[in-house]
Chains A and B, each alone.
Chain A
Amino acid sequence: MEFARKAFAREATYRMEVVTNVGSVVLRVYLLRCLWTALYAENAAPLNLPLHGMITYATIALLMSLILEVDGTRLIREKIREGGIATDLMKPISVPLYFFADGIGQTLLQALLVIPSLLLALLIVHIDVPPAPTLAVFALSFLIGYGVNFFVNFLMNSVAFWTLESFAVQLVVRWASDLLSGQIIPLTFFPGVFGRLVFALPFAAIYSTPLLIYVGIIPRTAWALSLAVQVLWLLLFAVLSTALWRAAARRVVIQGG
């Protein structure tokens, strides 16, 4: 009986987390609908993004964030702090690959949350669905964005090899990236020089590119170029991560853990 009660309590806490998460998504979808409706009601609409496009953009961005905000590489930081990284490095496995696999596992679990969230979101807002080729390119672009996001997180967490305050660094980067990646506001709204600057930053490859493909601001003719830029960022960060990892691993050996 006692075990059953414990199991129930465990289940209940878990279920409460799911309910809280999904509930928060629903509230945020409601909020974004109210926000953009109010803004579009009183002001001239931007040229290429009507209200329904904007609501679609913001809703898809929110659902993407459910997946992208899972930090699959958080484990690195914890293992460095607690010293477990040393034994991991001795095991005959590729440690970065192990973290990547672990991250995918967490992401898949989180992705299950997207389904009820999406269904509930559809009760609150109407989402435009683009033609199949656009959807396919969006999916591809999202996948590359996922990779870029993974390596950015990987780099941030590896900073813990050098400083134990990496959590603060990481939060700051996360906040900056929320704004600069186009997750909160489409990058096309940024004025003048800033507008050009944000598109030149790697964060744009995480949210902005897939989303702008989805709502049709990036036209068919520019798909190839946009994807190529994303792939370039992906490669750059992959190389950086590898280099940093090698340096870090050596450091652990020298320090003796």
Chain B
Amino acid sequence: MLATYLQFWRINVLTMLEYRANFVMWFVFTLFYHGIALAALYVTMRQFPSMNGWDIRQMFFLYALWMAAHEFHNAFFWQVVSVPDYVREGRFDRFLVRPRDTLFQVLTVPQQTMPDGFVAAIVTLAFATAVAHVRIDWIYGLFVPAIVLGGALIDLGISLTIATISFWFVRIDTLRWVAMSLEQDFTRYPISIYGRGVQLVLAFVLPFAFMNYFPAAYLLNKGDVGLHLDPRVGLLTPAIGLAWLAVAYAFWRFGLRHYQGTGS
């Protein structure tokens, strides 16, 4: 399996080398996307310097943490987002008749993505860490990579759930788009600005708050993270990511058993 996975990345790199202009264009595109988001944050925070006690540097760190997790997801799990397209076009059925795990096969469909956005995110995160004066100690060194990975798993759980829903509802482009944009909206600000009900949902139902808010609040020494929780919950992100992915994976398996195809 590992050999297959390495082979998959070899193909990706070869494709990238073949279509260099395309690769550069999409990279610039990714940078532009995050640049616009950060510019909007800058303009807002310049007019209003404090958001529930978070200043612009801390907001930048909050964004960078989400960006790292999200770009990790985009680099390594992006094919899951394409599953609804495979289902609609009838290309999904071939995964079911081959003697390998279906999800593994989905994750190794050759594609034109490289971890370039993730590299940009790491640079951004390092920069934000310095700007926000986050203390770099063994907790940072040990937990931040795990938190980024955990956050990416939370993202993967969402993509997997949407992919599974597409087994029943073929046209879910709107849902996919809405879920992506809502994730961006609800991870951009400290969840303390929302009402208690929404905070609970973001913490325990769709655990976006674990992608960046709880870890950032802990690393920035925010005393109160809300919901009467200990600030150290921010270190639980990897566990939450695994648990959430396990639930999504169970749903995916359930969906596979009921998969009927579109007949196209």
Contact = CB atoms under 8 A, between A and B. Distances in A.
A4 B48 CA distance: 56
B198 A30 contact: yes
Given A38-B52, A42-B51, A43-B49, A17 B36 contact: no
Interface string A173-205: 001101100001100011100100000000000
Given A38-B52, A39-B51, A21 B44 contact: no
A178 B39 CA distance: 12
A20 B195 contact: no
A179 B44 contact: no
Interface of A: 12-14, 16-17, 20-21, 23-24, 27-28, 30-31, 34-35, 37-40, 42-43, 46, 165, 168, 171-172, 175-176, 178-179, 184-185, 189-191, 194
B40 A191 contact: no
Nearest to B44: A185
Helix, strand, loop or mixed for chain B's interface? helix
Contacts of B29: 168, 171-172
B236 to A, nearest CB: 25
B189 interface: yes
Interface stretch (B169-177, B211-219, B240-248, B250-258): B169-177
B43 interface: yes
B175 A20 contact: yes
B198 to A, nearest CB: 7
B20 to A, nearest CB: 14
Interface string B44-56: 1011111111000
B50 A43 contact: yes
B143 interface: no
24 contacts: A16-B169, A16-B171, A16-B172, A23-B178, A24-B178, A27-B182, A30-B198, A34-B194, A34-B195, A37-B193, A38-B189, A39-B48, A39-B51, A40-B48, A43-B47, A43-B48, A165-B22, A168-B26, A176-B32, A179-B39, A185-B43, A185-B44, A191-B43, A191-B46
B181 interface: yes
B25 interface: yes
Nearest to A30: B198
B36 A176 contact: yes
Helix, strand, loop or mixed for chain A's interface? helix
B171 A13 contact: yes
Interface residues of B, number: 36
Contacts of B49: 43
B70 to A, nearest CB: 16
A184 B193 contact: no
Interface of B: 22, 25-26, 29, 32-33, 36, 39-40, 43-44, 46-53, 169-172, 174-175, 178, 181-182, 185-186, 189, 192-195, 198
A27 B206 CA distance: 14
Nearest to A18: B174
Given A24-B182, A38-B51, A179 B174 contact: no
Contacts of A165: 22, 25
B52 A42 contact: yes
A39 B186 contact: no
Given A28-B185, A38-B52, A168-B29, A16 B44 contact: no
Given A42-B51, A46-B47, A176-B36, A35 B174 contact: no
Contacts of B175: 16-17, 20
B171 A17 contact: yes
Nearest to B194: A34
Query: What are the 10 tightest A-B residue pairs by CB atom distance, in nearest-first order?
Result: A38-B193, A39-B48, A43-B48, A24-B178, A189-B47, A17-B174, A13-B171, A34-B193, A42-B50, A175-B36
Nearest to A10: B171
A179 B52 CA distance: 23
B189 A35 contact: yes
Nearest to A46: B47
Contacts of A184: 40
Given A35-B193, A184-B40, A175 B32 contact: yes
Contacts of B47: 43, 46, 189
A131 to B, nearest CB: 28
Given A13-B170, A31-B194, A191-B46, 15 more contacts: A13-B169, A14-B171, A16-B171, A16-B172, A17-B171, A20-B178, A30-B198, A34-B198, A38-B52, A42-B53, A175-B32, A179-B36, A179-B43, A184-B40, A189-B44
B178 A21 contact: yes
Contacts of B48: 39-40, 42-43
Contacts of B198: 30, 34
A43 B26 CA distance: 38
Contact of A179 (B40, B46, B171): B40
